[in-house]
Structure formats: structure tokens, C-alpha cells
Chains A and B, each alone.
Chain A
Amino acid sequence: MHCQTGSRGTYVPTSRTIAGDPLERIERLASENAVVIFSVSSCCMCHAIKRLFCGMGVNPTVYELDEDPRGKDMEKALMRLLGNSPAVPVVFIGGKLVGAMDRVMASHINGTLVPLLKQAGALWL
């Protein structure tokens, strides 16, 4: 299940598309859309986080790392970024790292998620 968003992020062209630093690729992909989720298709927590955003009326851009040829490297890079496993799911909003499921939920509960989404243009309510 994919909720494709209407992209409002800035597009940064890069020539380093193949042999690139995975982290850079991640950052590049994250900045291309308002809400970007890095996921693994078989991961249930990723499914939960997708349901959360769709339930809020947001259409996130989802990258399934198990379907990407460079996915393994990106997973490792994400693990380094987050400090612990699992690497997925991880959410970027407005090009900025929000975090894994626990951070996303905490920000939703404390009321900071919605303004962030609105600010990124993912929500219009």
C-alpha cells in the first residue's frame, strides 16, 4: 500500500546516483517530498506508521528498502543515523529527520506532529 504524496519538497539534482554515499541518498530522497518514510515491505511496524499517516489524511512517500538495489547500504546508514536497530521505519518531514515510530508517536501525542505536517504542506486542515 502506497500513499503517494503530491510533492512539495525541493528537488536537488545529483550526478552521484549509482556509486553514492547511502546517507546522502537518503537525505536527498527525504528532501524530495514533504513526508518521506523509509520502510521494508514485510515490516509490520512500517505498516503501522503508514496507517498512522494515512489515517491523519497525509500521503507519505514510501521507499521500500528491500525493493531497492541499494537498500542494504541505506539500512545500515539509517541504523547509524538512529543509533540503534531497527533501521525502519524512519520518517522525514520537510526534509528533516523526525525519527522512528516512538518519536513519531510522541510528537503526535504532544501535539507537535500536526503543526510540523502543516508546515511541510502535507496537511491542509
Chain B
Amino acid sequence: MANHRVGETGLTESRPPNHHHHHNIPYAVLHGMNVPTSFIHQEGSAFGFGELEEAIVLQGVNIRNDEAKAPLFRPAATLEMFPSWPIRFQQTPRVGSSKSGGESTDSGSAVNTICSKTENQLEPESPISTKNTTPLDHQQEMASDFSRTGTSQNQPVAKLPQEKRRGSTSEKQLDAKTLRRLAQNREAARKSRLRKKAYVQQLESSRIKLTQLEQDLQRSRSQGFFLGGSAGAVGNISSGAAIFDMEYSRWLEDDQRHMSELRTGLNAHLSDSDLRIIVDTYISHYDEIFRLKVVAAKADVFHLITGMWTTPAERCFLWMGGFRPSELIKMLISQLDPLTEQQVMGIYSLQHSSQQAEEALTQGLEQLQQSLTDTIAGGPVIDGMQQMAVALGKLANLEGFVRQADNLRQQTLHQLSRILTVRQAARCFLMIGEYYGHLRALSSLWVSRPRESMMSDDHSCQTTTDLQMVQPSQIHFSDF
């Protein structure tokens, strides 16, 4: 609606004559009727509302004045100029010859046109009508609405003769009512515009806020997953768990540092003794996380055993609150070449004993679960509190299992460093660090992958490209 400003308080007091572009509020628009846009305002059109208003008024006038007369209906050639006009003009075509009192031929033709239009468009227009007043009243309402603008025309419309309303009114009273109604309409239109403006502003600011929130969510999500999943979470997390999550994220940062040290140490071809120092530091770094996990297991064993401190992909392959040592060895075996025969035997023996230990712990945990089920399952309950107390006692054993599993992990890493040469050990630990780094990155990518149904091939290729930094040989998810 760029061309015209519908609904603007534009009832100008005075308008230059023959000014077709005016801002009167069309009756139809004021009252929310469906009026074609083209009709509402036609800039530069030959038709002016002023003339129409005047014509309407005159029609009313004519109706009143010519009540007794038989209507003379003159179809007008300009019928098509008026695409639609509300049923308000559904008026018995009782307008006589439109000529009365000094009106110009323009008005006359307009009146005629309206009459004919009214005649021809009775039924199709009726749905628009929502008011209960009679057509006559409507027409006269419209007439009065526009009469005001009509007054400034150089038409003798100013001399509005009396119009018949429900009761007889004097000319002055009619003017007052008209004025009041017009003022009300203006006011309503103004308020409506203000409301609309406020609403649009509200929408705009909400949109901006929404995009900001989305960005924040995206950022914190990616950060959260790199930090182990619950670093950014608030509520529903125990203090022990929160503390551990913080310590773990710090440990991950240290891990990055240690790994780059290993990398540079390997590339720089340091002496074995120098490299040994770096490797031993890295092992101590792992000892550190196992120490932290002992404390965390005491504070919140469920946090550890459910893997809420890790990323989803790691969590998926979790065994008893951490990695499964035998799977880790399986991942490393292929990449630790060349190995001496003794080393090969040592590695396979390590994998075998690790598997046995894992199996024993798993069976122990299964028995714990069975025992717990027996305690809390239904059946005759003699003492509910006693039952719960027993169950709590059994649940406390979980901590022991997580501790033993971590112990197994720690022992496995130590044994690896004993079996391998210092250079092999450095490469081995680097591989382990990179493996878990890739797993965490995979988790993050997975979470933020696009989920639209229409995923183009380009997009899926892009994801693949992102993963190209990951060497496929280092990820053995199927083995895990």
C-alpha cells in the first residue's frame, strides 16, 4: 500500500479543486469492508472521491426530495469505472434525474453511475453488508461521511438540504452528527495505526532477540559438548558432579597441551631420555584424571557411570564409567607397528587379561543389579524403610565397581608404557589422545548436523569433508 495512505487522518480541511489524490477514508475501508485496492485509490484517475461523495449526498438528497417522484433510471456509460461499491447503495433506484440545484454534469453522471451500479450489483455485494441499518440509512450515512469533504468542493453540495433519517433532523444537527462521526472515525483510524505500529515494533524486536538466542544456544551447545556435556548445564546436577565436570574440562585442556608436547617431541627426534620425561608426564596426566574420578565416584557415582561427563558418542560406547581397556588396545594394535615378537605377545597378553578382568567386573555388576532388583521388587514388604535401607547399602557398591574399572584402565595404560619403547609409547599416547579428540568432535558435529528433510548432496559432502581431518584408520567404531 505504498501509493495511498489508507486510514490516515487525512480529511483535509481544504483541498485544491480538482485534486484527485486525496486522503479521505473510504467508507468501505473505515468499516473494514473488503474493497479492492484499485478502487480505494487511483492516483491520477479521472475519478475523484470528492465528486463521488457529493454524488452520494446528492443522491440522498434526491431520494428525500424525490420520494414522491417516480424514479428515472438512466444507465451510465461510466458504469465500469466503479468496480465495486458496497451494498449501502442498495437503494431503490428512486433517484430521479440527477440534476438538481446547480450540480455539475460531472456529479450528475457520477450519481447516475452510482445508481446504475447499485441497480446492477445488488446481490453480489450483499455479503459485505454487516450492518443492520436499512440501505437507506446506510446510504445516508455514507453520504454524511463524505459530505464533509464534499463541502469544500466548489459544488453546491455545501448547501446540504435536509436528509431523511430515522427521525427528521435539521440541517445543523445533521452536520453535527456527521462531524462527530467523522471525528470518531478519524480517531479510530489513528488509534488503529498506532496499534499497528507498536505491534510491528514488537515483532521486530522479538525477531532480533530470537536470532540472538539462537546464536547463543548454538555457541553454548558446541562449547558444552567439547567440555563434556554438562559444563554449561544448570540445575539438576550435584555439586560433586559439577566440580568434576569443571576439573575434567580443565584436564581436557591440559590434554591438548600434553599432546602437542608429544607431537613436537616426536617430530624433533629428541633423545629417548628426554622423550621418556614427556611420556612419563603424560602418564601422570592420566593418573590425575583417575584420582579425580575416585573423588567423583564418592560424590556422585551415577554421574560417572551414566557418562554424563562425556560427549554423547563417548557415552554410547561407555563401559562402567569410562573406556573399555581391551577395545582401546584393539584400536592401537594395528597402529603400533613395528613391534618385536615379545612386544606382540605382551600386547596380546595385556588385551587378554584385560578382557578377563572386564568380564569379571561386568558379572559382578550384574549380580549387584540382580541383588538390588530382588530387594526393591514387589512382593510382601514387611518393612518398607528397612527394604530401602538395604537397597541403599547395595547401591553404595556401585562406587566400588567404578573405582575398580578406573583402576583397570589406569593399570592398562601403565602396562602399555612398560611394554613399548619410549618412542612407541609416545606415539601410542598421541594416538589415544587423538582418537578421543576425534570422538568428541564427531559428537559435536552430530549434534549440530542439519536435520531438514531436503538435505542436498552438497551438504552431505560437506560433512564428509569436515571429517577428512580425521584419519579413518584411527576410528574403529565397529570394534568398539
A residues contacting B by CB (< 8 A) are 42-45, 47-49, 51-52, 55-56, 86, 101-102, 105-106, 108-111, 113-114
Is A109 within 8 A of B397, CB to CB?
A: no
Q: How far is the CB of B440 from chain A (nearest CB, A)?
A: 27
The interface size of chain B toward A, counting residues with CB under 8 Å, comes to: 29
Instruction: List, in ascending order, chain B residues with CB within 8 A of A113's CB.
Output: 353
Asked if B407 CB lies within 8 Å of chain A CBs, one says: yes
Q: How far is the CB of A61 from chain B (nearest CB, A)?
A: 18
Asked if B364 CB lies within 8 Å of chain A CBs, one says: yes
Instruction: List, in ascending order, chain B residues with CB within 8 A of A49's CB.
Output: 360, 364
Q: How far is the CB of B364 from chain A (nearest CB, A)?
A: 3
Is A52 within 8 A of B349, CB to CB?
A: no
The residue of chain B having its C-beta at the shortest distance from the C-beta of A44 within the complex is: B368
Instruction: List, in ascending order, chain B residues with CB within 8 A of A114's CB.
Output: 353
Instruction: List, in ascending order, chain A residues with CB within 8 A of B415's CB.
Output: 109-111
Central interface residue in A42, A43, A105, A108, by most chain B CB within 10 Å? A105
10 more CB-based (< 8 A) A-B contacts, given A55-B360, A101-B404, A108-B356: A42-B371, A43-B397, A44-B365, A44-B371, A44-B401, A47-B367, A102-B407, A109-B350, A111-B346, A111-B353
Among B354, B364, B368, B394, contact of A109 (Cβ-Cβ < 8 Å): B354
Instruction: List, in ascending order, chain A residues with CB within 8 A of B354's CB.
Output: 109
Among A55, A101, A110, contact of B411 (Cβ-Cβ < 8 Å): A110
Q: How far is the CB of A67 from chain B (nearest CB, A)?
A: 17
Is A45 within 8 A of B401, CB to CB?
A: yes
Chain B's interface: helix, strand, loop or mixed, by majority?
A: helix
- A113 CA to B353 CA, complexed, in Å: 10
Asked if B254 CB lies within 8 Å of chain A CBs, one says: no
Asked if B387 CB lies within 8 Å of chain A CBs, one says: no
The residue of chain A having its C-beta at the shortest distance from the C-beta of B403 within the complex is: A102
- A56 CA to B356 CA, complexed, in Å: 8
Central interface residue in A47, A106, A108, A109, by most chain B CB within 10 Å? A109
Is A51 within 8 A of B407, CB to CB?
A: no
Q: List 17 A-B contacts (CB under 8 A).
A: A42-B371, A43-B397, A44-B365, A44-B368, A47-B363, A47-B367, A48-B401, A48-B404, A52-B360, A55-B359, A55-B360, A101-B400, A105-B408, A109-B357, A110-B415, A111-B350, A113-B353
